[in-house]
Structures are given as C-alpha cells and as structure tokens.
Amino acid sequence: MTMDIRDIHTPVMLERCIELLAPALESEGAVFVDATLGMGGHSEAFLTRFPGLRLIGLDRDQDALRIAGERLAPFGDRVTLVHTVYDGIAEAVRGAGVDRVDGILFDLGVSSLQLDVADRGFAYSQDAPLDMRMDQTTGPTAADVLATYGEGDLRRIFERYGEEKLAGRYARAIIAARAEEPVDRSGRLVEILIAATPYSAQRSGHPAKRVFQALRIEVNRELSVLEHAIPAALGTLRVGGRIVVLAYQSLEDRLVKREFAQASASTAPKGLPVELPEHAPRFRLLVKGAELATDEERERNPRATPVRLRAAERLREENA
C-alpha cells in the first residue's frame, strides 16, 4: 500500500507562517522563495492559498526535490525548483529571472524525509550507515568525520554544535573504538556513546542525541551556510517583503536573532540629535522575540516542540 506523503509530513506552524507572510504575497505575480523545500508541504499550502503566487523552491537534497516536484506538479509553471544549498538563494533567484522577491521561508534543520528514511543515518533510533549528508551527491559523510578527525576536533564539534558536556569523554571513546573497527553505522556509534555515559547522565536524555546533532551540523556545514544565507536572503527582499525563519535548536536561533537584530537596528552614531534617513533601520521585526508553537500543535505534531519562529519585514532599500 502506498502512503500519501501528507500522512507522514505535517508542516510546522503552517498557518502562522501564512499569516505572517500573507501581506507580502497577496498581489498577482508575487514571488515566494521556500529556501528549505523539503517535501513541499509549506509550498503546496502557499500555492493553494495564493493563486497568483510564483514559487522558487530550493533544496540540496535531490530526493526531496523529486518528491516535492511530483507533489507540486499540478501548479505547473508557477513552480521553479532549484538544486542548491540555501546560501545560494541570491543566485537561484537571479537564475529564475527574478530581481527581488516578496516572501521567504526557512524551515531549518533535518527534514521528515531525512529522519524517516533509515539508510540516511540521521536517526540514532535506527541502525543505518552513518551518512547524514543532506545532499548525497557531494562531501564527506558522518562516517568519514568519525574516521578521520582527531580527538580534539571531535571534542570541538561535540561541544560547539551539540553543546555536549561529555564531549571529551565521547571523543576519547570513539578514538579508542575506531582503532578496533570502523565506526560507520549509527547502531555502533550509539553503543559506544551509551557505554561511555555514566548511568546518572543517561537519565537526562539519550546519550546520542547531541552527538548526532553535532555530526549532522558538521557534515552539512549548517551554521556556516546559515550565517551566509540569512544576509543573502534579506538582500533579495523587496521593500514590503517579508521573511519567516523556523529554527529547531539554539545555535541556529541565536544566529538568526543576531542577523535580524542587526538588520532592524538604527546605524545612527551615538549622540546624533536627529536620525538621518540613511541610518534608519532596514527591517522591522514582526514578532517579539522567538515565537513558539501552540500546545495544541505540539501535541498534534511533536516535531513542532522545539521550534522557534522569527519574522521580519523590509522597510527600505540599502541607500534609500
């Protein structure tokens, strides 16, 4: 029996995203960029809700592009899909023949597709080859990282990207284990991590959770990509255009918060009696702080539990 993609993929905070982006997308011919297309759930809803909307959908995962392409086929030439990492947003927009866009959505982190397909190696709950590449056509795998990084580098990524307190202990355990046999499957890595975790620490959560997160971020360069992607995205928005970002872990959210704060701040020198137009903020924030999913949505869709939503609107051009 074939399962409908809608049965396994529930877009996070969909109605809130539509509500925030709607004022920028209601005009005929508006252009919307889904910078993290995934299986196309958000994009399908936007194309349905706004009949005059054009979509530019980006994803580095070719499986996701294939599935989303089939799902969005009924919308015909309103859809342009691009195989790219989302820090290539400006090039993708220009390649689609567009100067400025009206709305942008980032739904960060690992997708339902990547989590649910066991052989991708993202989930510590299923034994699989340690791949973790969102784009399986390029770059080193998680197994490559575990095979080649020294103890110091493994500790660094576990600390920085996983905020793991036992980073040093885990790094030493992996180095010792790989001397005996390759650590190239998720089940093997989980065994190593559990064995290296004091019993008291195991009660506070699965020992593999933060290490798997750190490996995924390292393999896909997620934070460095995001650091370039947000300014690039802001630069593609027209005046009145809006951007919404859904982040699922604190490192991503802090980066988005920083970029939004900088874009929405006045650049007037301290002590200037009057703010000149060129110093006025380029953007305004649309929500106060980071908005969370409702209790109802968290119960209905557990993947919405950690989400943090931020949104902004462009007020002026750079030199206006």
Known binder of ligand: residue 42? Answer: yes
Known binder of ligand: residue 41? Answer: yes
| Sequence-ordered alpha helix ranges (H) in the chain | 5-8, 14-25, 41-49, 62-72, 89-95, 112-116, 142-148, 151-162, 167-178, 186-195, 199-202, 209-220, 222-236, 250-263, 295-300
Known binder of ligand: residue 86? Answer: yes
Instruction: Output the CA angle 63-65-70, nearest 5 degrees.
Output: 100
Instruction: Report the distance separating Cα 303 and Cα 210, nearest Å.
Output: 16
Instruction: Report the distance separating Cα 186 and Cα 196, nearest Å.
Output: 15
Known binder of ligand: residue 279? Answer: no
Q: Which candidate, 60, 81, 89, 63, places its Cα nearest to that of 216?
A: 60
Instruction: Output the CA angle 122-217-176, nearest 5 degrees.
Output: 75
At 206, which amino acid appears? H
Known binder of ligand: residue 121? Answer: no
Known binder of ligand: residue 40? Answer: yes
**Residues paired with residue 245 on neighbouring β-strands, in sequence order:** 106, 310
Q: Which candidate, 315, 298, 299, places its Cα nearest to that of 307?
A: 298
Annotated binding residues for S-adenosyl-L-methionine, written as ranges, equal: 40-42, 59, 86, 107, 114
In the annotated binding site, the residues are 40-42, 59, 86, 107, 114
